[in-house]
Structure 1
């Protein structure tokens, strides 16, 4: 269980955040100078060097979005130009991609960040340039929403790249692009000019995910623990019925892959913030604003409590809460995580994603005991992730956040010679979300505008 530091504040983390962005700039430039785009998209490191891994190109937005976050913090123009030019030259195919559930990852991290920086006055306001970013976000949101499995009775979900039968926990974070596209006044146009609300699709997907991918301790199966998350839910397309939980990247359907939980925690927390800004009339057709906010809060609190209770004291989780080797580590939840053990790897990428969710939930519940609990938990996780064990200071290592895991069941992650498990490597989403977490905490510490994906 995470041991909270009740005295830790965002300001306390500023020295570590300054160091993170010093290292971050070096890593970004190292990768930019060494990477050949002909090799695809960098995904994770092997012996400290980024390499690609064929599945889908879901990490390219993180690669170029990292430069935009770096510019946001440092003001260095070269990072803005790097991120902006790469977005124009290489991200268009992600806007029109009909085969993935990752639009929020790729396009909000690039077009979305550029649009945000312009709204915030950090880059000059230019009408045509702004329209370019908005068009990309509108199309991305509509195309993502079109990847739809209809379950009947006004239920459904954006299906994963596995096919229409598959609902991933990860996709909750792609709802950002539907939200922004909706705010920009866009809809999905269908047969006979039917106008499909992107807000409605967002809410339906979130409700379906909450119902099937998240557990609440109410006896759905023999392993039902409040806050448990199934990576994937499987449906019968003939009649729309739910069939079973599944896991692609976790150990089993009945254990919790911690990065899957982290996506849920971060996704529902940021959607709570977004939905809370909408006028009541916008949400009235879907059950009313308060009912919707309560439902999202129920999910976010369940998974936040699970994360706090099923993570080692320093806030860094092992890759799956039911990984078979954990029993050999003894009382592993009552001491700091050990990334150098012989049995099961940690996943620091799950930690930085979850920390953002915890802090956002804490901000949403500000002024309450639970809000304080979640804020302090998130800051505790960040404090560990930004420390010497997890932050890469080696200039020869291209990664920023160490000890991440991509796909343990498939054996994709590098195991160093003489070791039995993956360790010491980085991944593109881990590096990006470490920067995003650091940016958010830095703004809180300096009383700067709150970092958010949506338009206010």
Structure 2
């Protein structure tokens, strides 16, 4: 009798545990579904804003939107030579991916083709990754146009000509070397351009492109960061010895400060480098540069343009840095084995996106951009508290990444490239 009673109790406990598990699982799925509705809503919001921009795009070669200054309602337009030229076609490709509407594919192809001359000039710019991979790269990923592939491969070869083997990095701002009196300089932004080299090395390009990307990342990891893992904006090298001369800033508050977008490029760049190489040192470093960034964020998780601006809390914010970081953290959360830490990264990224998706940060009826409150080049007095095209690009990218993760409901990263 006693054994039967214990058996009944045991079975009842198992049943209760099973029911609790089902309830919790169902609640998690419902939460994901509700969040996914918000993601779809925000993707549709981006589509509506982008349509407004398409409707007002001027004719001619200067037709790529870059920024809308605070207090204004119209985009400032650029041509294909500007480092931001790839973000608008990249946004259009992401909208095609997110909505499956052919009109976005047609528009994306039109603006992407305008950037084709970039692949025809050797050593044109260190930002060919931003310019070409965001446009032709996303386009090739989604439609496998062989013409796009050739542009990507030629552009990767062009970018590689800026690599200095003595230093171990790609030269930044080649057209400004004499003006700045920096014999060989490298900016942290250059970490993002490495993705073009990795891709090309695996899609018909030289193996040397992979080696250049790895060497650049390794050199940057060793020379571009202070002991607390905050990043310099620029590192200047001696072209003869290859040795580091100094770390300085160009767009940050001071040589010793943590410029928000620069730190976000580092988080994104080293995360991407681990994905492409599986070198554990890159994964470890991505976490270190992410952790110091997260530890110093204000309550709403949107950084001030520079973490060390003495005007804080009255300093301007930089939504673009938040967008880059949110996208990077979503990917980083899928790559680390420490699941509690992975969950923290994902939750931080989702909270950033939730904040960016509020009235406080979305442009809505203020102008035709997606977001407000980004800061471009504060020391130069340009693009301060503005709407900037790369903020919109990484915001939409982060939304798409989160959507894929929620659809899979696992931590295996669906490569967005």
Pairwise TM-score range, normalised by the shorter structure: 0.7 to 0.9
- Give the Cα separation in 1 of the matches to 2:32 and 2:119: 35
Instruction: Quote the residue 2:47 is aligned against.
Output: 25
Instruction: Quote the residue 1:242 is aligned against.
Output: 244
Gapped regions of structure 1 (runs ≥ 5): 1-6, 120-129, 188-195, 218-225, 277-292, 330-342, 414-421
The structure with the largest helix share of the pair is 2
Alignment of 1:69-88 (within 5 A): 69-88=94-113
Instruction: Quote the residue 1:368 is aligned against.
Output: 339
Instruction: Quote the residue 1:92 is aligned against.
Output: 116
Distance 1:405 1:11, change over 3 A: farther
Question: How many angstroms does 1:274 deviate by?
Answer: 2.0
Instruction: Quote the residue 2:215 is aligned against.
Output: 204
RMSD across aligned positions (CA): 2.3
Instruction: Quote the residue 1:146 is aligned against.
Output: 161
Instruction: Quote the residue 1:444 is aligned against.
Output: 405
The TM-score, its normalising length taken from structure 1, stands at 0.78
Q: Deviation string for 1:66-106 (max 9, x for gaps)?
A: 11111111111111000012212x01122234231111111
- Give the Cα separation in 2 of the matches to 1:53 and 1:214: 33
Question: How many angstroms does 1:451 deviate by?
Answer: 4.4
Aligned length: 376
The TM-score, its normalising length taken from structure 2, stands at 0.85
- Give the Cα separation in 2 of the matches to 1:12 and 1:201: 44
Instruction: Quote the residue 2:224 is aligned against.
Output: 213
- Give the Cα separation in 2 of the matches to 1:107 and 1:380: 30
Gapped regions of structure 2 (runs ≥ 5): 1-27, 178-182
- Give the Cα separation in 2 of the matches to 1:86 and 1:68: 10
Greater gyration radius: 2
Name the SS of the counterpart of 2:49 in structure 1: helix
Distance 1:116 1:52, change over 3 A: same
Name the SS of the counterpart of 2:68 in structure 1: strand
- Give the Cα separation in 1 of the matches to 2:130 and 2:119: 11
Instruction: Quote the residue 1:385 is aligned against.
Output: 356
- Give the Cα separation in 1 of the matches to 2:381 and 2:407: 42
Aligned match for 1:158, one of 170, 176, 187: 170
Q: Deviation string for 1:173-197 (max 9, x for gaps)?
A: 111100110011212xxxxxxxx61
- Give the Cα separation in 1 of the matches to 2:80 and 2:129: 17
Alignment of 1:48-59 (within 5 A): 48-52=73-77, 57-59=82-84
Conserved 8 A contact 1:268-1:300: yes
Distance 1:56 1:248, change over 3 A: farther
Q: Deviation string for 1:232-288 (max 9, x for gaps)?
A: 101122322211111111011100111011011011112212223xxxxxxxxxxxx
Instruction: Quote the residue 1:432 is aligned against.
Output: 393
Distance 1:84 1:56, change over 3 A: closer
- Give the Cα separation in 2 of the matches to 1:64 and 1:51: 16
Q: Does 1:397 align with 2:397?
A: no
Q: Which has the higher contact order (CA 8 A, sep 6+)?
A: 1
Alignment of 1:51-450 (within 5 A): 51-52=76-77, 57-88=82-113, 90-97=114-121, 98-118=123-143, 130-151=145-166, 155-161=167-173, 162-163=176-177, 165-187=184-206, 197-215=208-226, 217=227, 226-276=228-278, 293-326=279-312, 329=313, 343-366=314-337, 368-394=339-365, 397-413=367-383, 422-423=384-385, 425-447=386-408, 450=413
Conserved 8 A contact 1:251-1:320: yes
Name the SS of the counterpart of 1:105 in structure 2: helix
Name the SS of the counterpart of 2:290 in structure 1: helix
Question: How many angstroms does 1:118 deviate by?
Answer: 3.0
